[in-house]
Structure 1
Amino acid sequence: MAPKFGTSGLRGLVAELTPELISDHVSAFVSACPTGTGLFVGEDLRPSSQRIAAVVIAAARDAGLNVTYCGALPTPALAQIAMSAGAAAVMVTGSHIPADRNGLKFYLPSGEISKADEAAILANLGHAPETATRGTLRYYAEAGADYISRYRQAFGGAALAGLRLGLYEHSSVARDLLHHILLSLGAEVVRLARSDVFIPVDTEAVDPTTREQLAEWCATYRLDAVLSTDGDADRPMLTDATGQVIAGDVLGVLTSMALGAKVICTPVSSNSMVDMVHDFTAVTRTKIGSPFVIAAMEEALTQEPGAKVVGFEANGGFLLGFAAEGPAGALPALMTRDAVLPIVAPLSLARAKGQGLAELVATLPARATASDRLTETPTEASAAFLAHLSKDASVRAEFLAPFGQEQTLDRMDGLRMTLADGNVLHLRPSGNAPEFRIYTEAETLDAAAILLEQAMNTIRIKLRGF
């Protein structure tokens, strides 16, 4: 696919992310957006990231910016240190997509770029800023330590005491930092499946083989949970003691409750249980993607400064919009997707209540979600298929015949069809990869999984005609 902006920054095939294209986008970013005290640069562990980071650094210095290189670290850790320094940032990451693809995620000194900022960057392509002075370069190795301190300060040294946790390391850029964080909170950690080859773990669509492995680890090592992240650690994965993956939007609800949040901003794809939790005073639904969630959070804070507002996505990425208090101390706001908070907060909450994660989840309203994606699906085919379904109710009725009767339709982001029995089938193209996303919701996890499997099989066949 040709490099383009999606829901998480610029993405494209590595072969097409040429030095010229990367430099052009960095120069356009510098021209179009505020950069504050300079630029912080980080990268994930895919093979191409270090090379791309070097191009980003050179382009930023040529534009006159002083650059701080942080090396390999989680996206939220880079965002935290850059914002605390009043600086912009660029993270080189393709997140959960395969290693033959990569991308750039841009941050202002105030946080993630908006859709308006994205448009301004695109409008400035081909117009390199003129500068007489080349920027400086320094290496800062303490960004990871600052990130560890964030969680130790808020949760304390005994928050996870007595828990035996499996850390599925694979090629997550957070694998070593997560180990340190868990140990600093009192947990016993079993390190699992570290890989020198990049593995594109999608925490929103965990494949059956991985699910079997998670359950096997829990049984073999007598674990209370297994945890992990995607490649750049802005999306969490957490299981209960049986190895059952807890959906990201359920982790979002639990984390919101643990922090005392009142105003929730979350995409239309998130589990509707959030609307049933009495702890929350307002729930705003958005299109899918952190820029839309952040815009809703900022609007909520404009209307009510000081509101206890948070955001989360179905992938589990959690955005903290207020200065919260953890069990042991302050937890500053961090309005970018984070994977560590929605891992640590539910584990800490369950321990404090004397429950396992499965027991804690069982206290929530009985709504379950499942999701997966059809990979290598051209965006044009996805768009044509959804346009076909959108034409009229009779077309959708024919498609939905194996699943149920349409009751309501939401076109905010793709097609979200609520059926007469209360089940939900939500279809949309990925915003940053040639993939077709399918989300389901039902009263039980088994029912959601069955609906997902049926929908995947049906849509796989239907897409061949587009």
Structure 2
Amino acid sequence: MKVFGSSGTRGVVGEEFTPEFVSRVAAAAAATWDAERVALGRDTRTSGRTFADAAAAGVTAAGVDVERLGVVPTPSLVRYCEVEAVPGVMITASHNPPEFNGVKLVGDDGIELPVNRLEVVEDRLLAEEPTTVSWDRMGDSRRVPDANDEYVAEMLEAIDRDAVAAADLTVALDPGHGAGALTSPEFFRELGCDVVTVNAQPDGHFPGRDPEPVEANLDDLGRLVRAADADVGIAHDGDADRAIFFDEAGEYVEGDASLAALAARDLGEGDTTVAAVNVSQRLVDVCEAAGANLELTPIGSTNIITRIKELWREGESVPVAGEGNGGVFFPDYRLVRDGAFIAAKFLELLAERGATVSEIVAPYEDYTNVRENLSYDSDDQLDAMLEAAEAYADAADAEPDTKDGYRLDYGDAWVLVRPSGTEPKVRVYAESADPERATSLARDVRETLEAAKADAAT
């Protein structure tokens, strides 16, 4: 695909990402769907209203009515699509910086479009097929004010509220000024938790931190956990489809460790879980212990969703899936990454075990992960770095997995290099039980790519 990446389509506002482009994407989707109505939501980004207006114009111009949900987490829009049996358009760039925005497309089954259906929309978009109907067939627009209330109410019914409330937990929450600021504080209070917050004012400038919930952006949450003597810290990204945790001492918990803990709780013999090619050995260990199968896909929610649906058609049980970035699926509830629901399942785990966060994740703390991001300014630089990555993989003493970039497994460690599907960056991941080994592997690959990039710039 040329337009849709690993999780929708995104770009820098005013450059490749314009109102005209968004209108065309929405119109192509509406013309492809056999639907009379389309749901439309957005996150808190300052450009969100403009792009939501553009998407609404594209949809109504294609002769389809628009139901405008306003600012909602992506899982809130997804829930609305499933319940109302309508497809949806979500204006969000998820974890990307504030200068970005994007579009996610959701089917009338309440599931983000899989790869094959995105390709149909993309083909129509790139072919520039007409989508505008005559003046007397254009769609209408109406506002839906209560989508978030219904989203929270449904989640409350799906979580063991009594167990969580009995655990008497104090939750430190950082929604990162994103859409989760409108739903997660209320949700965790309704679960019976004491909730303290930071960066909980919806603000598309993201003044407190960048939307991506990585350790470098979450110092405020660590301090809040310690100051409030909280039992757990929870952070979301811009559209609240991810949850990252801090332990009771205010220490960052690797997303791979929390994924492993959640998977260990739900996976049984004969089950299957789905993860991306940057999967941690932690999840591999959990699957081996449970007698469960592990399926790997290219990185990104779209690819994981596509594979889960294929496994369902084959009669496989997939109780949990996801990536180590805080994006976990519980498909038996809904096939969506939902930051609030992920966090609530983690609270259930704390309540059931009567344990602290550090105790819960302790079995999965024996690995060190290193992640490097290398930006590029031109296609020539990108091509040079990928050519260098291929040469590095060919020369390595390991068989490369080329499902998504180049992954090299050495037995005691692995390293992966791949271009980002959402940003102009090449990402390098490394993991080992030996911190120095992981750091050395990542550094070696990074230096190789940096040299290739420098040569391409001269």
TM-score (norm 1): 0.86
Q: Is the CA contact 1:166–1:190 (under 8 Å) kept in the aligned structure 2?
A: yes
Q: Tell me, yes or no, if structure 1 residue 169 matches structure 2 residue 175.
A: yes
* SS class of match (1:41): strand
Q: Is the CA contact 2:42–2:91 (under 8 Å) kept in the aligned structure 1?
A: yes
Q: Cα distance, 1:245 vs. partner? A: 2.3
Who is 1:249 aligned against? 256
Who is 1:96 aligned against? 95
Q: Does the C-alpha gap of structure 1 residues 368 and 336 become closer, same or farther in structure 2, counting only changes over 3 Å?
A: same
Q: Tell me, yes or no, if structure 1 residue 10 matches structure 2 residue 16.
A: no
Q: Does the C-alpha gap of structure 1 residues 217 and 372 become closer, same or farther in structure 2, counting only changes over 3 Å?
A: farther
Q: Does the C-alpha gap of structure 1 residues 238 and 123 become closer, same or farther in structure 2, counting only changes over 3 Å?
A: same
Q: Tell me, yes or no, if structure 1 residue 263 matches structure 2 residue 278.
A: no
Q: Does the C-alpha gap of structure 1 residues 7 and 392 become closer, same or farther in structure 2, counting only changes over 3 Å?
A: closer
Who is 2:224 aligned against? 217
Which residues of structure 2 form unaligned runs of 5+? none
Letter in 2 for 1:429: P
Who is 2:322 aligned against? 312
Q: Is the CA contact 2:408–2:414 (under 8 Å) kept in the aligned structure 1?
A: yes
* SS class of match (2:197): strand
Q: Is the CA contact 1:61–1:136 (under 8 Å) kept in the aligned structure 2?
A: yes
Q: Cα distance, 1:387 vs. partner? A: 1.7
Who is 1:326 aligned against? none
1:29-84 deviation line (CA, Å, top 9, x unaligned): 1222343x510000011110011101111221121212111000100110111121
Letter in 1 for 2:147: A
Who is 1:77 aligned against? 76
Q: Is the CA contact 2:176–2:236 (under 8 Å) kept in the aligned structure 1?
A: no
Who is 1:351 aligned against? 351
Q: Tell me, yes or no, if structure 1 residue 360 matches structure 2 residue 360.
A: yes
Q: Is the CA contact 1:377–1:436 (under 8 Å) kept in the aligned structure 2?
A: no
Residues 140-155 of structure 1 correspond to what in structure 2 (within 5 A)? 140-155=144-159
Residues 64-463 of structure 1 correspond to what in structure 2 (within 5 A)? 64-110=63-109, 111-125=111-125, 126-129=128-131, 130-131=133-134, 132-161=136-165, 162-194=168-200, 196=203, 197-198=205-206, 199-203=209-213, 205-207=214-216, 210-260=217-267, 262-277=271-286, 278-304=289-315, 307-322=317-332, 333-364=333-364, 366-375=366-375, 378=378, 380-391=380-391, 396-397=395-396, 406-419=397-410, 422-443=412-433, 448=438, 452=442, 459-460=449-450, 462-463=452-453
Between stretches 425-434 and 342-351, larger displacement belongs to: 342-351
CA distance in 2, matches of 1:310, 1:378: 38
Q: Is the CA contact 1:240–1:246 (under 8 Å) kept in the aligned structure 2?
A: yes
- Once the two structures are aligned, what percentage of the paired residues are identical? 24
Q: Does the C-alpha gap of structure 1 residues 392 and 251 become closer, same or farther in structure 2, counting only changes over 3 Å?
A: closer
Q: Cα distance, 1:379 vs. partner? A: 5.3
Residues 21-100 of structure 1 correspond to what in structure 2 (within 5 A)? 21-35=21-35, 37-100=36-99
Q: Does the C-alpha gap of structure 1 residues 158 and 284 become closer, same or farther in structure 2, counting only changes over 3 Å?
A: same
Q: Cα distance, 1:154 vs. partner? A: 1.8
Q: Does the C-alpha gap of structure 1 residues 443 and 15 become closer, same or farther in structure 2, counting only changes over 3 Å?
A: same
Q: Cα distance, 1:227 vs. partner? A: 0.9
Q: Does the C-alpha gap of structure 1 residues 351 and 5 become closer, same or farther in structure 2, counting only changes over 3 Å?
A: same
CA distance in 2, matches of 1:370, 1:392: 18
CA distance in 2, matches of 1:447, 1:350: 32
- Give the counterpart of 1:465 among 451, 455, 458: 455
CA distance in 2, matches of 1:344, 1:449: 33
Backbone CA RMSD of aligned residues: 2.5
CA distance in 2, matches of 1:444, 1:77: 41
CA distance in 1, matches of 2:98, 2:434: 35
Between stretches 371-380 and 236-245, larger displacement belongs to: 371-380
CA distance in 2, matches of 1:80, 1:337: 11
More helix by share: 2
CA distance in 2, matches of 1:222, 1:241: 7
Q: Cα distance, 1:91 vs. partner? A: 0.3
CA distance in 2, matches of 1:365, 1:138: 49
1:87-106 deviation line (CA, Å, top 9, x unaligned): 00000011111222211111
Q: Cα distance, 1:243 vs. partner? A: 2.5
1:371-394 deviation line (CA, Å, top 9, x unaligned): 342345545423421222313667
Q: Is the CA contact 1:247–1:370 (under 8 Å) kept in the aligned structure 2?
A: no
* SS class of match (2:161): coil
Letter in 1 for 2:324: A
CA distance in 2, matches of 1:298, 1:29: 21
CA distance in 1, matches of 2:374, 2:119: 29
CA distance in 2, matches of 1:189, 1:449: 37
1:117-161 deviation line (CA, Å, top 9, x unaligned): 222222212223335422222211221112212321122433433
Q: Does the C-alpha gap of structure 1 residues 144 and 260 become closer, same or farther in structure 2, counting only changes over 3 Å?
A: farther
Letter in 1 for 2:53: A
